[in-house]
């Protein structure tokens, strides 16, 4: 994937919205491009994430898998949480709290990802307050959007039970 293509996709990515060319260049110095063949588990639930990922092309499914009955005895089937496409990010929970992933992310089709490791991210934001403030603000917006979506889904499920 050409640098111009990456920059065009990233310009629409919420996680880096508001970054100028200089800050974006700093961030990209700490990033790598990864390809994910269809079916590849990019991030596994209960495993530590390697960093923050931004989808450049393809689609990925965010899933709670029913593989481990010991750890999740009530989960009898896979649960599809969401689908990610170009500009979406994942790995953000673990980037913020250093806890294992809360869900698995699986390539639904061949995908290209921008990966920023935790170490790379910390190096990029160290001493660059504008970059740090912008990305953390954007991550907060993403997390709040996800939380509101889950609140609406829970509300709909409660309506069905009544």
Q: Compute φ and ψ for 47, nearest 5 degrees.
A: -105, 150
7-35 per-residue burial string, b: 16 or more CB within 10 A, e: under 16 = eebbeebebbeebeeebbebbbebbeeee
Class of domain 3-161: mainly beta
Tell me which residue has tokens 């640098």.
3
Other residues' Cβ atoms within 10 Å of the Cβ of residue 148: 10
Kindly calculate the radius of gyration of the chain based on its CA atoms and give it in whole angstroms.
17
Q: Which pLDDT belongs to residue 18?
A: 92
Tell me which residue has tokens 């990456």.
6
Question: Quick one: which H or E segment has residue 89?
Answer: strand 89-90
Each residue of 34-75: pLDDT tens digit?
Answer: 999 999 999 999 998 889 999 999 999 999 888 766 666 676
Q: Say what the pTM is.
A: 0.85
Task: Provide the percentage of residues in the chain whose pLDDT is more than 90.
Answer: 60
Each residue of 116-146: pLDDT tens digit?
Answer: 999 999 999 998 999 999 999 999 999 999 8
């Amino acid at each position: 994937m050409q640098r111009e293509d990456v920059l065009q996709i990233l310009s629409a990515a919420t996680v880096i919205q508001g970054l100028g060319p200089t800050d974006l260049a700093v961030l990209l110095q700490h990033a790598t491009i990864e390809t994910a063949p269809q079916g590849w588990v990019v991030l596994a639930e209960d495993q530590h994430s390697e960093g923050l990922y931004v989808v450049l092309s393809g689609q990925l499914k965010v899933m709670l898998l029913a593989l481990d009955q010991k750890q999740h005895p009530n989960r009898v089937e896979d649960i599809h949480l969401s689908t990610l496409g170009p500009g979406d990010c994942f790995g953000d929970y673990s980037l913020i709290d250093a806890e294992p992933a809360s869900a698995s992310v699986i390539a639904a089709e061949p995908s290209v990802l921008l990966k920023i490791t935790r170490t790379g991210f910390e190096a990029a934001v160290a001493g660059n307050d504008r970059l740090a403030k912008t990305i953390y603000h954007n991550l907060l917006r993403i997390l709040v959007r996800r939380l509101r979506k889950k609140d609406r889904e829970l509300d709909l499920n409660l309506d069905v039970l009544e």
